[in-house]
């Protein structure tokens, strides 16, 4: 087809040896859109405001749009398209008045839901009719967070329902053990929530979404005294918002308009309630009814409808008439008049069968409740009676008792018989709930939808609508599905398919495929309504595309369009696994606006999230676009895993509980279960070794901890109970290292006295060969605290400007000036200490002069200019606060080196590294290669050391150097001629920077270890990755640090264990990017001796680590993320327990000098989201100043690749003693929101340990 699409590419790795590349197509205007634009723009290239008004009136059916509104739409579209600032509005307005919309702007307009949605966004139904004339958005057991048997009761699902627009909230009231009232699902394992909590939340959120009345249906199981207490709670809570009926029984319900911002109570009057309970106690009503929580089984024998109706009532999950009461109510007890006066919508069922229940009284109106099964049976024999009853009275339909999973039923059965309150479990999800949400998106989402006229009308012979009567086709709906887009923006590239773009389809079976590559992409469209209208159709198949274009028209004849819902569902076909869900929507046909419309898709729960739609046509033409927002669900008390599609395994979720040692500590530092500020202060000093903490600070911590409780216990004494104490211990307020962002090391020493957070090829977004160059990774590095940024600068293609790129590769360049501006903007976001820019330049003197001009103009006063050509000592970080420092080779040395290089052979290339996707184990410092005889010989793995780099410019040694460039250099780089001895000579008159590759360093330390330490006491050593690390992997940084190397340069865009060590080291000193080197690396003995990294050292102290427990995976991962059939089985990568199939363990170790490096593991646990190990480990340390504590968690999987569970790396020298909460991080070093370990740290001096 002719739809234009902008193209880019996605690469998918296949079998770790090659990649498949697929074009990413950007959707362009379909032919119908182009034709409409051309027709209404008069064949021109712009559409004026008047032409847009005509398009909206003639094509879209929106005849009310004025010329002024069309102009406003044009201004807003162009503002969004061009991101026009507020101060330029006047200019934009003047421009649009003359130009209008171009085709792309017009197409963009069609994608805007606020201007081009499928139905009206405001209330537009007549709201002055009685309540019985409306379908009402109704919840069932609104207080439950999950299933009907064992989930928690809470006000949270009530709030969520009200925010969505639900207008009927159901509360089951039961006596508490303390003569109070709780809300819970009676006689189940659900945990209660106090009634006042629910009432207050209803008051606060009732009119958040809609001003129209909220109805509270009370299913009470109370004594008259407690009913009176409930009446007092209601009146005090709602006050003037509460609606009081004028008479005991209304003859007609009031209208939604007259009840705006009012609360209405619906329940059974107390006297009827007590009488029904007394009758039940005497056994007059059939005794085989089930408890309120039990599943309602279908009857095997066909019974008389009257008996069936009565029996069903007794098994209803919430039917007042038949519910047993836990109180000893007697009919002689006085009813609660104050409770009865509150009831506006009276519930109840007359004695007798269904016919009597459906009798319409002329002098009063009421509410009748039927479960879904009773309704289905009633509809088969009394369908017209149901319609007649609902014309004046309210019919409530609720789920059958067997829906213990909080599933739902088909709502259309109730609606087609006029049922106003079709009660749904809003905390569930599925296709039925999608229909419910779809119905109540109409009429501005106010929660009230006017019933079709035919359900309210009566004929000349008093006849009403018959749902079972065959009807003729009234209208035909034409749906044209143009295209879909947006998945690639809201999902990761490999979310659907690992090796190709997604293959969307709907739940039905796909067509037969002749070849493997022909995987279908198609959409199924349904009509849900009266039986005669229900149908489903699908589009043709499209293969491998993120933006599928169907351009097909589907036709649906409708007999009752007023009750029809258009349902669209998209799925992605997967040959080997469960098919992936791609989005859904449900739209009321009666409300659809004709024309080309934007249809947003929703996820399975259709969350309350911002929706950015895209197009669809009527004649309705639909262009489906999915915008999906994933919300983390509430934790439940149990989880179900499907196994082999035939049975389910159930695992009870353990509750996070304080370990025994924590409980013992609490008992030790508390009295009578309460830890006061004095007790807590003593705990912090004695156990946590926080000697400087004051009692006032201890009290502040207590108050902060109490504030964080959602439902605080009794804290009037401003003290902690065990739960609160454990919450503090396991919170981010109790970190393993000092949380302060202020540097606490001495920052007045020369730069050479610090390890500095250093990046390598800082401009690369990915690998070293073909990724893009950008300022984005530079910004991210600076935001993390990196202090050394490396830029490779090359002439552009015209040799007249400068670009940043990885030379002689397929990387795409980025402008140097763009990088400089980003460095200036973000340099001191994370730290105020100096940023060093290392320039690896490949420029002519003219371009070097141009770079000097860029540097001075961009950085201005924040640029550090050295006082002399060569510094005798580097300045301190403190003296260089908020300054930019330039480090590179002086131009003359650069040119001479290049000239010499032209006469030598280039270095050969090695093989790419074989790191696993999440990083190889860090190479030990114990096994280093023997040095070659000549240090200066070419290393095949060396990459960008200035002396060895080739230059493609026509530069020769006779060219004039750039003095303005040279004057900027504060840290001079360069390598003297000769071997390693010459390179490591210390000049008392000047300091400099030396660069070595990781392999050169490994070879050098074998023979010159002490010389390197001596060199780094005054000079700077930069170490960088070898040239074969094409995938931007890294090396073991400890090799450099233990020899005093200040700039251990890393690929910050990579990931893996080596990078975790780097992140861990620079968590020290407030994360400022400068870590003071240990004194032993800077000291010189009486005989001028320095530290020998290879010397055997005695144990200095022993680190004792106790691993108590872990928590948070349940909140940060889907419950099937690790195992599809059980809770996770975490373990560490390098160790296994023979004979154990599912287990959970963590690995803890030390990364440091060779004598200190070791890894240990915990015992094995099975199937648990909250593992508790309670094990202690000891790590003797010879050089604790350079030691890093490394923690890693993995989940074992027998059949697939093991799953990663988190990691942490902490500098031992900065660890705080005592019990601490250790946050875990993902593979790239980003902290998880919830995943933590609880650990204890103690340091034992050598003499004590022995």
DSSP string, 929-978: PPPPS-TTSPPTT----GGG----S---TTSPP-HHHHTTEEEEB---SS
pTM beyond 0.85, yes or no: no
Predicted pLDDT at 495: 58
CA 820/CA 854 separation, integer angstroms: 8
CA 94/CA 415 separation, integer angstroms: 51
760 noted as active-site residue: yes
Q: How confident is the model at residue 1043 (pLDDT cuts 50, 70, 90)?
A: very high
| Residue 498 DSSP label | S
Across residues 576-584, what is the average pLDDT? 69
pLDDT tens for 20-64 read 555 555 567 888 888 899 999 988 899 999 999 999 888 888 888
Predicted pLDDT at 349: 74
pLDDT tens for 666-715 read 999 999 889 999 999 999 999 999 999 999 999 999 988 887 665 555 54
**CATH architecture assignment, domain 751-1074:** Alpha-Beta Barrel (3.20)
Average pLDDT, the chain: 78
CA 337/CA 248 separation, integer angstroms: 11
pLDDT for 304 beyond 70: no
Of 95-104, 292-301, 706-715, 937-946, give the lowest mean pLDDT range.
292-301
pLDDT for 941 beyond 50: no
Predicted pLDDT at 1034: 94
Predicted pLDDT at 849: 93
pLDDT tens for 83-122 read 543 444 444 444 444 578 998 888 888 877 778 777 788 9
E strands present in 355-510: 367-371, 394-398, 421-424, 448-450, 475-485, 504-505
Tokens of 364: 């009063």
Give me the sign of the Cα torsion angle 465, 469, 471, 477. Answer: positive
Give me the sign of the Cα torsion angle 807, 811, 814, 815. Answer: positive
pLDDT for 196 beyond 90: yes
Identify which has the larger pLDDT, 635 or 375. 375
Predicted pLDDT at 836: 98
Identify which has the larger pLDDT, 644 or 1190. 1190
Backbone angles phi, psi at 651, to 5 degrees: -125, 130
CA 106/CA 85 separation, integer angstroms: 21
Identify which has the larger pLDDT, 549 or 1245. 1245
What percentage of residues in the chain have a pLDDT greater than 90?
Answer: 46
Q: What is the DSSP string of 428-445?
A: --SHHHHHHHHHTTSGGG
**Contacts of range 860-866, beta carbons closer than 8 Å, 24 or more positions apart:** 862/824, 862/827, 863/968, 864/834, 864/970, 865/967, 865/968, 865/970, 866/969, 866/970
Strand partners, 1188: 1151, 1211
Predicted pLDDT at 366: 94
Give me the sign of the Cα torsion angle 594, 598, 604, 610. Answer: negative
Q: How confident is the model at residue 1138 (pLDDT cuts 50, 70, 90)?
A: very low
Cβ-contact 407, 430 below 8 angstroms: yes
pLDDT for 914 beyond 70: no
Predicted pLDDT at 647: 44
pLDDT tens for 395-449 read 999 999 889 889 999 999 999 999 999 999 999 878 899 999 999 999 999 999 9
Predicted pLDDT at 906: 38
Q: Which residue has the tokens 């789920």?
A: 399
**Please, what's the largest Cα pairwise distance for the chain?**
120
What percentage of residues in the chain have a pLDDT greater than 70?
Answer: 72
Backbone angles phi, psi at 435, to 5 degrees: -65, -40
Predicted pLDDT at 602: 85
Backbone angles phi, psi at 1184, to 5 degrees: -65, -25
Predicted pLDDT at 322: 38
pLDDT tens for 327-359 read 333 343 455 788 989 999 999 877 788 888 999
Q: How confident is the model at residue 1115 (pLDDT cuts 50, 70, 90)?
A: confident
Predicted pLDDT at 789: 98
pLDDT tens for 595-608 read 888 788 888 776 54
Across residues 123-140, what is the average pLDDT? 97
Predicted pLDDT at 997: 95
Identify the active-site residue in 417, 681, 760, 1194.
Answer: 760
pLDDT tens for 222-281 read 999 999 999 999 999 999 999 999 888 899 999 999 999 999 999 988 755 445 544 444
pLDDT for 1053 beyond 50: yes
Identify which has the larger pLDDT, 1249 or 792. 792
Identify the active-site residue in 185, 346, 753, 806.
Answer: 806
Strand partners, 481: 552, 622
CA 407/CA 148 separation, integer angstroms: 10
Cβ-contact 935, 1004 below 8 angstroms: yes
What is the assigned CATH class of domain 134-450?
alpha beta
pLDDT for 915 beyond 90: no
pLDDT tens for 358-402 read 999 999 999 999 999 999 999 999 999 999 999 999 999 999 988
According to CATH, the topology of domain 1101-1249 is Immunoglobulin-like (2.60.40)
Predicted pLDDT at 791: 98
Cβ-contact 1074, 877 below 8 angstroms: yes
Superfamily of domain 660-729: EF-hand (1.10.238.10)
Of 348-352, 810-814, 1219-1223, give the lowest mean pLDDT range.
348-352
Identify which has the larger pLDDT, 572 or 130. 130
Across residues 293-303, what is the average pLDDT? 33
CA 414/CA 408 separation, integer angstroms: 13
Across residues 942-952, what is the average pLDDT? 41
Contacts of 98 (CB under 8 A, 6+ apart): none
Tokens of 562: 């007023």
Cβ-contact 818, 865 below 8 angstroms: no
Q: How confident is the model at residue 750 (pLDDT cuts 50, 70, 90)?
A: very high
Most confident of 108-112, 133-137, 264-268, 510-514: 133-137
Predicted pLDDT at 1157: 77
Backbone angles phi, psi at 790, to 5 degrees: -105, 130
Q: How confident is the model at residue 1241 (pLDDT cuts 50, 70, 90)?
A: very high
Q: How confident is the model at residue 1130 (pLDDT cuts 50, 70, 90)?
A: very low
Identify which has the larger pLDDT, 192 or 617. 192
According to CATH, the topology of domain 476-626 is Immunoglobulin-like (2.60.40)
Most confident of 172-176, 750-754, 894-898: 750-754
């Amino acid at each position: 087809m002719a739809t234009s699409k902008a193209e880019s590419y996605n690469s998918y790795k296949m079998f770790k040896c090659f990649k498949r590349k697929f074009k990413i197509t950007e959707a362009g205007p379909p032919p119908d859109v182009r034709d409409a634009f051309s027709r209404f723009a008069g064949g021109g290239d712009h559409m004026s405001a008047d032409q847009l008004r005509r398009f909206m009136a003639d094509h879209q059916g929106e005849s009310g749009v004025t010329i002024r509104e069309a102009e406003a739409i044009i201004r807003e579209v162009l503002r969004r398209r061009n991101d026009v600032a507020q101060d330029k509005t006047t200019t934009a307005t003047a421009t649009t008045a003359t130009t209008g919309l171009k085709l792309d702007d017009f197409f963009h307009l069609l994608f805007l839901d606020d201007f081009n949605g499928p139905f009206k966004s405001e209330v537009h139904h007549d709201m002055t009719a009685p309540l019985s004339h409306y379908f009402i958005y109704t919840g069932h057991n609104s207080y439950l967070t999950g299933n009907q048997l064992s989930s928690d009761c809470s006000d949270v699902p009530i709030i969520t329902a009200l925010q969505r627009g639900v207008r009927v909230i159901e509360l089951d009231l039961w006596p508490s053990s303390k003569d109070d009232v709780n809300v819970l699902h009676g006689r189940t394992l659900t945990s209660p929530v106090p009634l006042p909590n629910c009432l207050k939340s209803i008051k606060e959120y009732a009119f958040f979404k809609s001003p129209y009345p909220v109805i509270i249906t009370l299913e009470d199981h109370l004594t008259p005294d407690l009913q009176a207490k409930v009446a007092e709670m209601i009146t005090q809570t709602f006050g003037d918002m509460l609606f009081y009926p004028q008479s005991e029984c209304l003859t007609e319900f009031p209208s939604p308009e007259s009840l705006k911002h009012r609360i209405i109570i619906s329940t059974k009057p107390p006297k009827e309630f007590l009488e029904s309970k007394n009758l039940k106690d005497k056994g007059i009503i059939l005794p085989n009814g089930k408890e309120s929580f039990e599943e309602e089984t279908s009857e095997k024998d066909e019974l008389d409808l009257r008996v069936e109706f009565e029996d069903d009532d007794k098994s209803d999950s919430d039917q007042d008439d038949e519910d047993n009461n836990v109180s000893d109510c007697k009919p002689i007890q006085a009813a609660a008049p104050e409770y009865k006066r509150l009831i506006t919508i009276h519930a109840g069922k007359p004695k007798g069968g269904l016919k009597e229940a459906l009798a319409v009284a002329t002098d009063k109106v009421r509410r009748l409740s039927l479960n879904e099964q009773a309704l289905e049976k009633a509809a088969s024999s009394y369908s017209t009676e149901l319609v007649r009853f609902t014309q004046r009275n309210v019919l409530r339909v609720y789920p059958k008792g067997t829906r213990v999973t909080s599933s739902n039923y088909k709502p259309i059965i109730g609606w087609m018989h006029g049922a106003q309150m079709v009660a749904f479990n809003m905390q569930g999800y599925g296709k039925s709930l999608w229909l419910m949400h779809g119905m109540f998106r109409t009429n501005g989402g106010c929660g009230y939808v006017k019933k079709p006229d035919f359900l309210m009308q009566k004929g000349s012979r008093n006849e009403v609508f018959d749902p079972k009567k065959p009807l003729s086709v009234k209208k035909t709906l034409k749906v044209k599905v143009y295209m879909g887009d947006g998945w690639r923006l809201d999902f990761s590239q490999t979310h659907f398919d690992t090796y190709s773009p997604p293959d969307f389809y709907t739940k039905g079976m796909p067509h037969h495929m002749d070849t493997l590559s022909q995987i279908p992409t198609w959409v199924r469209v349904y009509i849900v309504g009266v039986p005669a209208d229900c149908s489903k159709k699908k589009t043709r198949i499209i293969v491998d595309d993120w933006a599928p274009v169907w351009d097909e028209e589907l036709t649906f004849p409708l007999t009752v369009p007023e009750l029809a819902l258009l349902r669209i569902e998209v799925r992605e076909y997967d040959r080997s696994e469960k098919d992936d869900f791609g989005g859904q929507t449900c739209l009321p046909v009666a409300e659809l606006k004709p024309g080309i419309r934007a249809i947003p898709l929703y996820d399975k729960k259709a969350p309350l999230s911002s929706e950015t739609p895209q197009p669809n046509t009527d004649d309705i033409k639909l262009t489906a676009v999915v915008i999906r927002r994933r919300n983390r669900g509430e934790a439940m008390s149990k989880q179900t895993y499907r196994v082999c599609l035939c049975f389910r395994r159930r695992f009870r979720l353990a509750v996070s509980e304080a370990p025994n040692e924590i409980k013992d500590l609490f008992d030790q530092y508390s009295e009578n279960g309460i830890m006061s500020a004095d007790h807590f202060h003593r705990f912090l000093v004695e156990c946590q070794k926080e000697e400087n903490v004051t009692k006032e600070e201890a009290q502040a911590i207590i108050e902060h901890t109490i504030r964080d409780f959602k439902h605080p216990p009794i804290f009037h004494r401003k003290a902690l109970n065990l739960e609160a104490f454990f919450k503090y211990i396991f919170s981010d307020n109790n970190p393993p290292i000092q949380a302060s962002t202020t540097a606490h090391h001495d920052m007045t020493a020369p730069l050479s006295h610090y390890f500095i957070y250093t990046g390598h090829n800082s401009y690369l977004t990915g690998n070293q060969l073909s990724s893009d160059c950008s300022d984005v990774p530079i910004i991210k590095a600076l935001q993390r605290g990196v202090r050394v940024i490396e830029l490779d600068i090359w002439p552009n293609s015209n040799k007249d400007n400068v670009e940043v790129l990885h030379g002689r590769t397929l990387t795409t360049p980025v402008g140097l000036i763009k990088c400089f501006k980003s460095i200036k903007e973000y340099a001191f976001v994370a730290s105020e200490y100096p940023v060093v820019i290392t320039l690896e330049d490949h420029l002519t003197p003219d371009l070097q002069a141009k770079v000097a001009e860029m540097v001075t103009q961009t950085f201005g006063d924040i640029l550090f200019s050295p006082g002399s050509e060569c510094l005798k000592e580097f300045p301190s970080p403190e003296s260089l606060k908020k300054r930019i420092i330039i480090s590179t080779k002086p131009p003359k040395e650069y040119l001479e080196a290049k000239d010499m290089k032209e006469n030598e052979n280039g270095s050969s290339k090695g093989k790419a590294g074989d790191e696993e996707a999440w990083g190889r184990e860090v190479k030990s410092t114990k096994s280093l290669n023997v040095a070659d005889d000549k240090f200066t010989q070419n290393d095949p793995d060396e990459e960008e050391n200035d002396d060895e780099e080739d230059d493609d410019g026509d530069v020769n040694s006779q060219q004039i150097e750039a003095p303005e460039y040279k004057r900027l250099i504060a840290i001079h780089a360069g390598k003297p001629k000769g071997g390693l001895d010459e390179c490591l000579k210390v000049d008392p008159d000047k300091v400099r920077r030396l660069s070595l590759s990781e392999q050169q360093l490994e070879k050098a330390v074998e023979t010159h270890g002490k010389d390197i330490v001596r060199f780094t006491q005054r000079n700077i050593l930069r170490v960088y990755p070898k040239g074969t690390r094409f995938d931007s992997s890294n090396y073991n940084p400890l090799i450099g640090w233990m020899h005093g190397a200040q700039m251990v340069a890393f690929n910050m865009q990579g990931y893996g264990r080596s990078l975790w060590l780097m992140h861990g080291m620079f968590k020290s000193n407030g994360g400022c990017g400068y870590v003071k080197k240990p004194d032993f690396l800077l000291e010189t003995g009486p005989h001028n001796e320095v530290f020998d990294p290879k010397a055997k050292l005695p144990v200095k102290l022993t680190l004792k680590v106790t691993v108590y427990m872990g928590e948070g995976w349940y909140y940060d991962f889907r419950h099937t993320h690790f195992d599809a059939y059980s809770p996770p089985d975490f373990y560490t990568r390098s160790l296994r327990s023979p004979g154990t199939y599912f287990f959970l363990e963590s690995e803890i170790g030390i990364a440091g000098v060779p004598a200190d490096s070791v890894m240990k593991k915990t015992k094995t646990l099975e199937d648990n989201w909250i593992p508790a190990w309670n094990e202690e480990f000891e790590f003797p340390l010879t050089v604790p100043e350079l030691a890093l504590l490394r923690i890693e968690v993995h989940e074992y999987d027998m059949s697939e690749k093991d799953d990663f569970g988190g990691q942490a790396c902490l500098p031992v020298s900065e660890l705080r003693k005592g019990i601490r909460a250790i946050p875990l991080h993902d593979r790239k070093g980003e902290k998880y929101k919830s995943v933590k370990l609880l650990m204890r740290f103690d340091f034992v001096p050598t003499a004590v340990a022995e």
